[in-house]
Chains A and B, each alone.
Chain A
Amino acid sequence: MWAGTVDLAGLLASAAALVFLVGGRRRPLRQDARVLLIAVVLASIFQSTVNALSHLGIYSALDPAEDYVAILSPMLWGFFLYSFVQDVIHRELRESEERNRILLASLPQRVFFKNSDSVFVSVNEPFARDLSLQPGQLVGKTDWDFHPPDLAAKYRADDQRVMATGRPETLVERNVVGRVERTVEVVKAPVVNDDGNVVGLFGIFSDITERKRAEEELRERERFLTSIFASIQDGLSILDADLRIVRVNPTMESWYAYNMPLAGRKCYEAYQGRAEPCEVCPSRKTLETGQGAFAAVPKRGAGGEIAGWLDLYTFPLIDTVTGQLKGVIEYVRDITAHKQAEDALRYRFELERLITTISSSFINLAHDEIDDGINRALRTVGEFAGVDRAYLFQFSEDGRTADNTHEWCAEGVEPQIANLKGIVLDEQLPWVSARLRNNQVIHVPRAAALPPDAQLEKGYFEKRGIRSLFAVPVLSGGKVVGFVGFDSVRAEKSWDDNIVVLLRIMGVVFSHALERKRAEEARRASEERYRLVFENARDMISLLSLDGLSYLYVNPATLATLGYSPDELIGKNALQFVHPDDADAVAAKFRETMSQGEGGAEFRYKRKNGSYLWLEATGRVTRDGEAQAVVLVISRDITERMQRQEELRALSWEDPLTRINNRRGFSHLAEQQLKVANRTGSTMLLFFADVDQMKWINDNLGHKTGDLALIETANVLKEAFRESDIVGRVGGDEFAVLAIQARSNEADEILARLQRRLDARNAQGDRRYSLSLSVGIACYDPRNPLPLDELMARSDALMYERKRNKRSPESLKA
């Protein structure tokens, strides 16, 4: 029962499958596979039906056929599966062919397939296009159908050779498409089947015309660059990243001809003869940093010696495509000649610097430092010249002997200075002496090879171990006063012209320095002498500054005379001690002295105790030491003399300035006339005159002009009055005139005459002041006699009144 049910279910399922197969709208299988599947389902329906009936016990006419159908069933399954597999295989084949077609059509290269008889089987579109055909039109054709016979024959021969050898070949040929000639590269390869038999030929060719042109240009550029590389006169060397030489130009080959071949070797081996890279290696630096570098490197000779110098510039060698650092380009310039010139220049520069330094160092040396300076200079030049001993000899005054006065010895060299004193040149070193005295340089590179006439010197030098010697005379005022030289005791040595120049200059420097030293010592001795004179002089000697007239120095006599201490005078203005009445005159004298260089004056000078003493001083502008201008003042105390003069002046009746009576003389004569007038009964007039603006004249025009005004006043008075009248100067600017036998009514006439005289004076040209007098007049009447003093007092009072009111002449009379 159950079996029948199962069979029935299978029957229904198969029926449903049949319905889907037949009635389904979709057709995912090929028709033959679908039919076979329908057969499978029908077989299944058949078997299910038979089995169901069998299980139901119903015999059917179908039973005999069941065996055949049952056998057919797996076969139908197998056919169905086979059909589907075939379908897939055919589809894969079609797809493969399609892919190949697309591939061929997509390739820019020309591709073709030929069979073993060189008949085209397949070509792609670009290939056919070259022949102005469609790909299908070439199938079944041969090269004879498109190309000239000779070219077709060549193509066939190539095809057959490739197929015969079984090896692909790459052929470069030239052909013409249309009118354009081109270069093509053809790769022909045999086509081998699964059995290993060659069944045809595959060819692919490319138009390499542009590539060939580019290659030709590249070759041309390479030739150009190679010619440049070879033509560069400086060295060029290409290194790889391991510092191995890749290529060098002919210049490098010529420099290192002894070490060829250079390529393939490490640069430090080939160029420097080293096993390890150099410490300073610009190429390595360039490899490390990717930047250019530079160094001056020695140029080695065949024996490894330094044969010259090279400027080495390195540049990174960078692959322009990848940007990777591939190596280093070394650009090398031979600077041997340049460096030699540079070394000579540097040596010359050092020499000149040395000379300048030494010369300038002596400028500011004090005289007591000159010996040390010479020793230092000998050390400097000795070290510069690389000698063992440098020295200075000075001749005695008579030039007969020489002393080694200064010496420098290199370390380990025995000094000789102590042994070389008082050398009698003409006897001990005649050959050297003769040359030095003729101002000749002595250059002895080999003491052992001195000439026979220098045998004394030879022995002398050998005794002191001197192997080479160089000496230059030292001149002073055209006379040889010594010599400066070098000794070499450890090796024989020669010196060039530069050393001659150096020593000549050193000789001049030393000579000047020593002269200066001697002069300085002489000056100091002289100074000492003068100082003694200065200190012990009885006159007052002082130095004043030119600008402020302040004391710079005073001698003991000055201090003793004036009573001041040095601190109370030094730095103080000398004029501040001058008596006020004399100050202006003294200041004027100082100005005159400074302008004319010397001058003198007599004036009163204040002592510390407040009293004044008279000094007679002479001043001279002079130089103090090096350059400072000062005033040297030598003064003498003339107080006693002035006092005597004053006493004499007091005894005198005449005024020394105006040459008229002084007050004493006027009083004496006036007293006598008063007595005469008293006896005779005649009247007299006393004129008391004062010079107007006298102070202004003194202050503004100077005391000299003031003195002149007084003299002029005296003269005017003498002219205006009679000779018998008594004229006198009774004060600084006060005058008195006693007009004898004059009445009071004559006063106006006398005053008018006086005024005319004054006007006549003032009318004279080039006058700097106008002379004017204020006059007071007193009349002496014997009937009412007055003493002279009273008379003068009255006239004096009237004069002052007149001075106050000069326009009222009436007021002058008394």
Chain B
Amino acid sequence: MDAGLKERDVIILLLAVGALIFAVANRPRLRLLPAWRVLWAAFCCALAGWTLSVLQMLFLRNQMMFLEDLSYAASSVLTAAWCWIVFATRREESKNVGRDG
């Protein structure tokens, strides 16, 4: 199994695809999130990492692993950027959707 597919990675990918389907299905509502494109990019990078973790078992292991790490890092950076935009800046969003209260 070490040389082939890991069950864990497949399960993660399936869960991620499920999340992707949900996100696409509710895309109109998710678009109401502030700086939605940044968050969506972060999710897509994470999804790419999860996909690469499966692909690295099939071919180009080292390259895929590097790209996987790079995807996770990009996802983290984008997530940080989104959090900075949404939580740390004073910029008023026209759409104050999701705010507490």
User: Which of A's residues lie within 8 Å of B, judged by CB?
Assistant: 2-3, 6-7, 9-11, 13-14, 16-18, 20-21, 23-31, 33, 37, 40-41, 44, 47-48, 51, 55, 67, 70-71, 73-75, 77-78, 81-82, 84-85, 87-89, 91
Asked if B97 CB lies within 8 Å of chain A CBs, one says yes
Taking the nearest CB of chain A, how far is it from the CB of B42, in angstroms?
Answer: 9
Given the known A-B contacts A28-B98, A44-B75, A89-B29, are A13 and B8 also in contact in the complex, defined by CB atoms under 8 Å?
no
A16 touches B23 (CB 8 A): no
Q: Which residue of A lies closest to B31 (CB)?
A: A88
B73 touches A74 (CB 8 A): no
Q: Note all chain A residues with C-beta closer than 8 A to B98.
A: 28-30, 33, 84, 87-88
Q: Which residue of B lies closest to A2 (CB)?
A: B66
A84 to B86, CA, bound (A): 14
A13 touches B88 (CB 8 A): no
A88 to B34, CA, bound (A): 13
A91 to B98, CA, bound (A): 8
Across chains A and B, which 5 residue pairs bring their CB atoms closest together, nearest first? A24-B87, A10-B73, A78-B19, A20-B83, A17-B80
Given the known A-B contacts A71-B15, A81-B23, are A20 and B84 also in contact in the complex, defined by CB atoms under 8 Å?
yes
Asked if B5 CB lies within 8 Å of chain A CBs, one says no
A73 to B12, CA, bound (A): 8
A6 touches B69 (CB 8 A): yes
B69 touches A3 (CB 8 A): yes
Q: Which residue of B lies closest to A47 (CB)?
A: B72
Q: Which residue of B lies closest to A75 (CB)?
A: B15
Given the known A-B contacts A44-B75, A51-B72, A89-B29, are A26 and B15 also in contact in the complex, defined by CB atoms under 8 Å?
no
A40 to B39, CA, bound (A): 12
Q: Which residue of A lies closest to B101 (CB)?
A: A27
Name the contact of B22 in the complex, choosing from A2, A29, A78 (C-beta under 8 A): A78
Taking the nearest CB of chain B, how far is it from the CB of A88, in angstroms?
Answer: 4
A14 touches B80 (CB 8 A): yes
Taking the nearest CB of chain A, how far is it from the CB of B7, in angstroms?
Answer: 10
A21 touches B87 (CB 8 A): yes
Q: Which residue of B lies closest to A38 (CB)?
A: B83
B88 touches A78 (CB 8 A): no
Taking the nearest CB of chain A, how far is it from the CB of B80, in angstroms?
Answer: 4
Would you mind naming 15 contact pairs between A and B with Cβ atoms under 8 Å apart?
A3-B69, A6-B69, A9-B76, A14-B79, A17-B76, A17-B80, A24-B86, A26-B86, A41-B79, A41-B83, A44-B76, A48-B73, A67-B8, A87-B98, A88-B97
A27 touches B100 (CB 8 A): yes
Q: Note all chain B residues with C-beta closer than 8 A to A82.
A: 22
Q: B75-101 vs A: 1/0 string, CB under 8 Å?
A: 111011011101111100100111110
A17 touches B79 (CB 8 A): yes
Given the known A-B contacts A3-B66, A20-B88, A74-B15, are A28 and B99 also in contact in the complex, defined by CB atoms under 8 Å?
yes
B50 touches A85 (CB 8 A): no
Q: Note all chain A residues with C-beta closer than 8 A to B66.
A: 2-3, 6
Asked if B18 CB lies within 8 Å of chain A CBs, one says yes
A10 touches B77 (CB 8 A): yes
Q: Note all chain A residues with C-beta closer than 8 A to B89.
A: 26
B30 touches A84 (CB 8 A): yes
A44 to B82, CA, bound (A): 15
Taking the nearest CB of chain A, how far is it from the CB of B27, in angstroms?
Answer: 10
B50 touches A44 (CB 8 A): no
Q: B52-83 vs A: 1/0 string, CB under 8 Å?
A: 00000000000001100110111111011011
A28 to B97, CA, bound (A): 7
Q: Note all chain B residues with C-beta closer than 8 A to A40.
A: 79
Q: Note all chain B residues with C-beta closer than 8 A to A75.
A: 15, 19
B86 touches A10 (CB 8 A): no
B30 touches A74 (CB 8 A): no
A29 touches B100 (CB 8 A): yes
Q: Note all chain B residues with C-beta closer than 8 A to A47.
A: 72
Name the contact of B43 in the complex, choosing from A10, A51, A67, A77 (C-beta under 8 A): A77
A9 to B72, CA, bound (A): 10
Asked if B48 CB lies within 8 Å of chain A CBs, one says no
Q: Which residue of B lies closest to A4 (CB)?
A: B69
Taking the nearest CB of chain A, how far is it from the CB of B1, in angstroms?
Answer: 13
A91 touches B80 (CB 8 A): no
A10 to B69, CA, bound (A): 8
B65 touches A3 (CB 8 A): yes
Given the known A-B contacts A24-B87, A81-B22, are A31 and B77 also in contact in the complex, defined by CB atoms under 8 Å?
no
B32 touches A88 (CB 8 A): yes
Taking the nearest CB of chain A, how far is it from the CB of B6, in angstroms?
Answer: 9
A88 touches B29 (CB 8 A): yes
Taking the nearest CB of chain B, how far is it from the CB of A43, in angstroms?
Answer: 10
A84 to B23, CA, bound (A): 10
A51 to B11, CA, bound (A): 19
A14 to B84, CA, bound (A): 11
Q: Note all chain A residues with C-beta closer than 8 A to B65.
A: 3
Taking the nearest CB of chain B, how far is it from the CB of A16, in angstroms?
Answer: 4
B87 touches A28 (CB 8 A): yes
Q: Which residue of A lies closest to B25 (CB)?
A: A85
Q: Note all chain A residues with C-beta closer than 8 A to B33.
A: 84
Name the contact of A28 in the complex, choosing from B46, B72, B75, B96 (C-beta under 8 A): B96
A91 to B8, CA, bound (A): 37
Q: Note all chain B residues with C-beta closer than 8 A to A26.
A: 86-90
B79 touches A77 (CB 8 A): no
Taking the nearest CB of chain B, how far is it from the CB of A53, in angstroms?
Answer: 13
Q: Which residue of B lies closest to A70 (CB)?
A: B12
A7 touches B22 (CB 8 A): no
Q: Which residue of A lies closest to B11 (CB)?
A: A71
A84 to B47, CA, bound (A): 19
A479 to B34, CA, bound (A): 132
A81 touches B69 (CB 8 A): no
B96 touches A74 (CB 8 A): no
Name the contact of A73 in the complex, choosing from B23, B32, B46, B88 (C-beta under 8 A): B46
Given the known A-B contacts A10-B77, A28-B86, A71-B12, are A77 and B19 also in contact in the complex, defined by CB atoms under 8 Å?
yes
A24 to B87, CA, bound (A): 5
Q: Note all chain B residues with C-beta closer than 8 A to A24.
A: 83, 86-88
Taking the nearest CB of chain A, how far is it from the CB of B87, in angstroms?
Answer: 3
Other contacts beyond A17-B76, A73-B46: 11, CB < 8 A: A6-B72, A7-B72, A9-B76, A13-B73, A21-B87, A23-B88, A26-B87, A26-B90, A29-B99, A44-B75, A81-B30
A20 to B87, CA, bound (A): 6
A74 to B50, CA, bound (A): 9
A2 to B67, CA, bound (A): 11
A44 touches B29 (CB 8 A): no
A9 touches B77 (CB 8 A): yes
Given the known A-B contacts A44-B79, A71-B15, A81-B26, are A7 and B73 also in contact in the complex, defined by CB atoms under 8 Å?
yes
Taking the nearest CB of chain A, how far is it from the CB of B49, in angstroms?
Answer: 9
Given the known A-B contacts A17-B80, A33-B98, A84-B30, are A78 and B12 also in contact in the complex, defined by CB atoms under 8 Å?
no
Given the known A-B contacts A28-B34, A74-B12, A78-B18, are A16 and B80 also in contact in the complex, defined by CB atoms under 8 Å?
yes
Taking the nearest CB of chain B, how far is it from the CB of A83, in angstroms?
Answer: 9
Of the listed residues A13, A21, A31, A84, the one surrounded by the most CB atoms of chain B closer than 10 A to its CB is A13
Taking the nearest CB of chain B, how far is it from the CB of A21, in angstroms?
Answer: 5
Name the contact of B8 in the complex, choosing from A7, A21, A71, A77 (C-beta under 8 A): A71
A20 touches B8 (CB 8 A): no
A85 touches B70 (CB 8 A): no
Q: Note all chain A residues with C-beta closer than 8 A to B74.
A: 10
Of the listed residues B8, B11, B23, B88, the one surrounded by the most CB atoms of chain A closer than 10 A to its CB is B88
A70 touches B79 (CB 8 A): no
Q: Note all chain A residues with C-beta closer than 8 A to B41.
A: none
B100 touches A30 (CB 8 A): yes
Q: Note all chain B residues with C-beta closer than 8 A to A88.
A: 29-30, 32, 97-98
Given the known A-B contacts A6-B73, A81-B19, are A31 and B88 also in contact in the complex, defined by CB atoms under 8 Å?
no
Q: Note all chain A residues with C-beta closer than 8 A to B70.
A: 6
Q: Note all chain B residues with C-beta closer than 8 A to A71.
A: 8, 11-12, 15
A73 to B32, CA, bound (A): 23
A73 to B9, CA, bound (A): 11
